[in-house]
Structure 1
Amino acid sequence: MTLRAENISLHLSGFDLLRNVSVQVEAGEVTAIVGPNGAGKSSLLRVLTGELAPTKGAVSFNQRDLNDWPVEQRAQMLAVLPQHSLLNFPFTAHEVVALGRIPHQTGTLKDTEIIDQALQLVDAEYLQKRFYTQMSGGEKQRVQLARVLAQVWLPCKEGEQILVLDEPTAAFDLAHQQLTLEIVRQLAEKGVGVVMVLHDLNLAARCADKLVVFDGGLVAAQGTPEEVLTEQLIDQVFGVKAMISRHPLTNKPLVIT
């Protein structure tokens, strides 16, 4: 169990944001977290990454308590793409992606090679020398995605690696949404564990090995997309009448509303 939250509860500002949540993220698998707005999805990611301490319960990472890992070692194994970046400095795309290589001691030449490859992978190599503050929202998000990819680009001797993505496709057009999902699957095939929040159930069904459905700070269901995505659950959690079919190309569950 690479990254595991066990009986997590989170109480902030008088609200129970998470209640007795148990989730595990395995190396080489894609876990998608879905649910309505305010259900606790992003709060869970913040606990899983150590940004917030749970009120109750524990988070373990590679067989150790998450907080027992030295910061630099943890950064070699755990990369996080938040929903919104607060970066407002006039860094070039190259310099932003280089931030992902700071925890590693691989040298300037190797780091430059990785940065170039990461930007190319996310279709942002043309942004190499452009200032981050002059980019569109989608371009900024692609550069930030390249940053976290660069952070887990090479296997780590300290342990298995996890990539955490909070709504990674929100700012993207259809082509870049599809590209992002392809990248996520490629990472999983290389042994990296991916956990991400998605709003689009069909995107989640398409790329995830496991879905975790949140509702009111509780896990309403978890399992494979085929196990989880039922008409009854979508009605119960999202308040939407839906029909479940099969995607003609992928044969994955297709939610029709």
Structure 2
Amino acid sequence: MTQTVDLNADMGESYGPWIMGNDADLLKIITSANIACGFHAGDPDVMAQTMALAVQNGVGIGAHPGFPDLRGFGRYRIQMPMDQLANAVRYQLGAAQGMAKVAGGHVRHLKLHGALGNMTSEDEEMAKVCYSAALDIDPDLYVMVLAGTAQQRAVEGLGCNFAAEIFADRAYNDDATLVDRRLAGAVIHDADVAAKRMVAMVQEGAIITESGKRIEARIDTICMHGDTPEAVEIARSVRAALEAADITAKAFPHG
């Protein structure tokens, strides 16, 4: 039986004249786009342009909220009161919905960015606060979660639509969280290595950690970070390797 998996990328992260990533080429390869909402990266013009390109390419649109941290690209861990964090998520989702509507599309999913994503992968209650805030606005929204972490436990507890994600370009700890970017080997730059490990994980239905441990996991979508220099090369390589292994790239839900 042919397997199916979604391919997603974080994008819309340019700011004014400062260009981050090659969104136009990535949108020709992936099936879902997580678009920055202006707090950690992006601006209204970049959001509008990226969403218009997503619609043109038939790519699913997702809101990608993060901490209010332009200097740190959303990768500084920030301690916020939970009510303020909930409002920050709602604010960013609302902006994304408005821009998507004007582009002729709609926000289908939400994925937390950077340090906010990492912290909620460790803290189920924090994850529930963020996801509940988004679901207050759209209860039919799909939430993209890091497979096998507190994020997945949170959405399972909430009973909402979700897609479980693994990463093509990031190494894994034995608890299914991502290796800290400050450590050597945390980010994978070799497109062939990324492609082979994604085929192996999808076929096995498991996250393969740096130590070689297999963690059984639901896998709905694969992420490539748009800000890495090799993003387009990795995306092409991963999609080609999946298709060669009879794994179809298609936007979720997959039934």
TM-score range, shorter chain: 0.3 to 0.5
TM-score (norm 2): 0.34
Rg (Cα) greater in structure: 1
Q: Report which structure shows greater RCO (CA 8 Å, sep ≥6).
A: 1
TM-score (norm 1): 0.34
